[in-house]
């Protein structure tokens, strides 16, 4: 399994647009790994989780060829994770050469938004599928298992277990601490990698996100349960409000054997 972490920032990006805080000014001056776009992740060039508004940047700068994308899984309807109007560019006169529609999977809100937008449009360039927690979706050589995230009450937010070629990855973004039933499911898995949000960094989690404290606790709980042993653990989805640039995040997280994601980071399992 080849994994490419595309965006690694929270909703505002990093540097945050319009922001003059010290952290954003430092990021502008530093560049490189301190420039973070909105979060998504690609698997084997054909499968992806989330479609943020920065996907053109992901293609043009990071080399994530969108023309070969076959299956798109959405976590929830917040605009930094789901940019449905972008899918209109699959159609003529913008997009040419595709022979198969793009399959999009998500909760009831995501599917309704997508369906409403495509109503009365010609062609079958996109097909929407509503999915439910713990109901596996087999697509090609991959199996995606949605799990219930804790992010907002107005819709069923999802994280994903992704399995292919004997390897299993947990992608948890956006979420706070899981409910007991989700923990029971996860503690019975065998995870080779975890890509976890760490939106709040040194600050308290809250508002459906995780901090250093909860990320460390998540790792320890899964290790104790035997669900995660000596695998790859990567922290991502950072808000600029953490106040720490990449090297500073790396210094803190590496002590817990956690890697710090950056835009374009690649992992092979």
Q: What is the 3-state secondary structure (H, E, C) of 78-108?
A: CCCCECHHHHHHHCCCCCCCCCCCEEEEECH
* Average pLDDT estimate for 185-206: 94
pLDDT of residue 113: 95
Cis peptide before 171 (omega within 30 of 0): no
The percent of residues in the chain predicted with pLDDT above 90, rounded, is 87
Phi, psi of 63 (to 5 degrees): 80, 20
pLDDT of residue 92: 79
Angle, alpha carbons 76-213-231 (nearest 5°): 75
**What mean pLDDT is reported for the chain?**
95
Q: What is the pLDDT of residues 24-48, one digit of tens each?
A: 999 999 999 999 999 999 999 999 9
* Average pLDDT estimate for 187-199: 98
Domain boundaries, the chain: 2-89+98-268
Q: What is the CATH number of domain 2-89+98-268?
A: 3.60.15.10
Q: What is the pLDDT of residues 69-92, one digit of tens each?
A: 999 999 999 999 999 999 988 887
pLDDT of residue 205: 64
* Of 169, 172, 168, 170, residue with least CA distance to 158: 172
- Helix (H) or strand (E) run with residue 266 in it: strand 265-268
Q: What is the pLDDT of residues 211-257, one digit of tens each?
A: 999 999 999 999 999 999 999 999 999 999 999 999 999 999 999 99
* Of 244, 215, 214, 188, residue with least CA distance to 36: 244
At residue 119 the predicted structure's pLDDT band, cuts being 50, 70 and 90, is: confident
* Average pLDDT estimate for 95-120: 89
Q: What is the pLDDT of residues 92-104, one digit of tens each?
A: 788 887 878 999 9
Angle, alpha carbons 218-192-6 (nearest 5°): 80
Angle, alpha carbons 55-113-56 (nearest 5°): 10
Q: Is the pLDDT of residue 20 over 80?
A: yes
At residue 120 the predicted structure's pLDDT band, cuts being 50, 70 and 90, is: low
Phi, psi of 148 (to 5 degrees): -75, 120
* Average pLDDT estimate for 175-181: 96
């Amino acid at each position: 399994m080849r994994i490419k972490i595309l965006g690694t920032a929270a909703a505002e990006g990093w540097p945050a647009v319009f922001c003059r805080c010290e952290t954003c000014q430092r990021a502008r001056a530093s560049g490189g790994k301190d420039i973070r776009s909105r979060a998504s992740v690609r698997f084997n060039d054909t499968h992806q989780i989330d479609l943020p508004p920065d996907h053109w940047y992901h293609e043009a700068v990071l080399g994530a060829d969108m023309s070969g994308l076959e299956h798109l899984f959405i976590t929830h309807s917040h605009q930094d994770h789901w940019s449905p109007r972008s899918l209109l560019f699959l159609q003529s006169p913008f997009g040419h050469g595709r022979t198969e529609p793009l399959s999009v999977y998500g909760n009831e809100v995501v599917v309704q938004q997508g369906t409403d937008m495509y109503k009365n449009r010609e062609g079958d360039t996109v097909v929407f599928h509503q999915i439910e927690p713990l109901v596996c979706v087999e697509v090609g050589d991959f199996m995606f298992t949605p799990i219930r995230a804790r992010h907002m009450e107005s819709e069923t937010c999802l994280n994903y277990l992704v399995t292919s070629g004997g390897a299993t990855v947990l992608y948890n973004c956006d979420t706070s601490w899981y409910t007991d039933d989700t923990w029971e499911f996860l503690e019975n898995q065998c995870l080779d990698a975890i890509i976890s949000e760490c939106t709040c960094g040194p600050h308290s989690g809250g508002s459906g996100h995780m901090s250093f404290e909860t990320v460390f606790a998540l790792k320890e709980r899964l290790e104790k349960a035997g669900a995660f042993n000596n695998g790859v653990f990567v922290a991502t989805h950072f808000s600029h409000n953490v106040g720490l640039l990449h090297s500073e995040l790396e210094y803190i997280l590496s002590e817990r054997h956690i890697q710090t994601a950056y835009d374009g980071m690649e992992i092979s399992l």
